[in-house]
Amino acid sequence: MSVRSATTRTPAEVDTAVEGFRLWPAAFDAAGQAALVADVFARLRDAPPYRPITPGGRPFSVEMSNFGPLGWVSDRAGYRYQATHPETGRAWPAIPDVLLDLWRDTVNWPEPPDACLVNLYRDGARMGLHQDRDEADLGAPVLSVSLGDAAVFRIGPARGGRTTSLRLNSGDVCALTGPARLARHGIDRVLAGSSRLIPGGGRLNLTLRRAGFSPG
C-alpha cells in the first residue's frame, strides 16, 4: 500500500488556535486510499457498521464499527470500550497493518493503538463538537484518517473559545497531540459527491486511539 512518506514529511502549518493539532495533507496517495478502503470493507464483513445510540437514547447519524482488541461503543449504559461487537457478540477484526505503521511513523508514542473507531458518514450524517476522553491515558494521541467525501472539520480549545473550520480531503491524516488531545472537535458537514472512493458514496473516518484497558 502506498503512503506518501508520512515519516519524513513535516505536518502542514494550520492556524487552529489549538497547539498540538497536526495535519498531513494527502498522506495516502490515490492507490493507497483505494487499497485501504478495500481492506476496511473486507474487515467490516465481520463487524458490520451499526448506528449506536447516546446514553440518552438518541441515535447517532453516523454508522460505526471498530477494529482492534477494543472498540468504542455507546448505548444507554454509557460510553466505553469493549472487546466485542454489541450486535454480533464477536471480537472486533484486527487493525490493518498500514494503520499501525502510520501510528508508529507519525505520533511518536511508545505503545501501539488498541482501538480503531470506524465512522461511516452517509446521507447528511455529522458529528457534533465533542472531546475524546473515554481512554485510560488521556496523554496518548489520537490519529485520524479521512477517506472518501471531503468534510468540514471544526476544532477548538478544550475549555471553550474560538473554533476553527477546515476542509479534510480524502487521504488526509490529522492528529490530536499534547494540548490538542482534549480539544473539542467535530464534523459539521460532509461534502456529498466530492469523491467516488467509497462504495455507495460517503466518507470513512478511521480513528486510532490508545484506550489502555484490558480487553478481558
* Residues that constitute the known binding site for Fe cation: 130, 132, 185
The CA distances from residue 180 to 157, 183, 213, in Å, are 7, 5, 22
Question: Which residue ranges make up the annotated binding site?
Answer: 72, 79-81, 119-121, 130, 132, 134, 159, 185, 203-209
Question: Which residue ranges make up the annotated binding site for substrate?
Answer: 72, 79-81, 134, 159
Assigned C-alpha cell, 127: 458529528
Distance CA 110, CA 200 (A): 37
CB atoms within 10 A of CB 37: 18
Question: Rounded to the nearest 5°, which phi and psi values hold at 151?
Answer: -140, 155
Whether the Cβ atoms of residue 208 and residue 142 lie closer than 8 Å to each other: yes
Question: Which residue ranges make up the annotated binding site for 2-oxoglutarate?
Answer: 119-121, 203-209
